[in-house]
């Protein structure tokens, strides 16, 4: 008997499906309208020149300076990277030599004491 209480007709299911479809379609339309409205606002804002807060001449100078800085950073970074790499090699070499000296001292001490 409880199965009969849970029965839903095919027409009722179809009606709910159509309502859901219509609701989602309306939501999509509203979202598209909102997107178009925002994009149009951004474009008008840009066309008026309100998208920048600096004068055009200043922006141009800054753009040139950024290009120059970007170019210089590329050169110095490779030079500094090479310097750092050389420093690392030098440090590693010094550590290796120090270990060898310490091992030699220990070996001499052990021979003197009678362990070797």
Residue 89, number of CB atoms within 10 A of its CB: 10
Whether residue 116 contacts residue 110, with contact meaning beta carbons closer than 8 Å, is answered with yes
Query: Looking at 43-98, which runs of residues are DSSP E strands?
Result: none
What pLDDT is attached to residue 73? 56
CA distances from 2 to 5, 6, 7, 8, 80 (A): 5, 7, 9, 13, 80
What pLDDT is attached to residue 104? 85
pTM: 0.40
Q: Which residue carries 């440090």 as its tokens? A: 91
Residues 6+ apart with CB under 8 A from 25: none
What pLDDT is attached to residue 54? 73
SS3 36: helix
Per-residue pLDDT of the chain (116 residues; tens, 9 = 90+): 556 678 889 999 999 999 999 999 999 999 999 999 999 999 998 888 777 777 778 878 888 877 777 666 555 557 777 788 888 888 888 888 888 888 888 877 777 777 65
């Amino acid at each position: 008997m409880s199965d009969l209480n849970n029965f839903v007709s095919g027409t009722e299911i179809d009606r709910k499906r159509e309502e859901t479809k219509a609701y989602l379609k309306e939501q999509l339309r509203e979202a598209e309208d909102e997107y178009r409205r925002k994009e149009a606002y951004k474009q008008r804002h840009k066309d008026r020149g309100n998208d920048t807060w600096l004068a055009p001449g200043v922006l141009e100078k800054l753009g040139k300076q950024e290009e120059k800085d970007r170019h210089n950073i590329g050169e110095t970074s490779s030079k500094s990277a090479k310097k750092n790499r050389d420093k690392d090699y030098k440090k590693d070499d010094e550590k290796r030599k120090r270990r060898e000296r310490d091992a030699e001292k220990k070996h001499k001490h052990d021979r003197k004491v009678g362990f070797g």
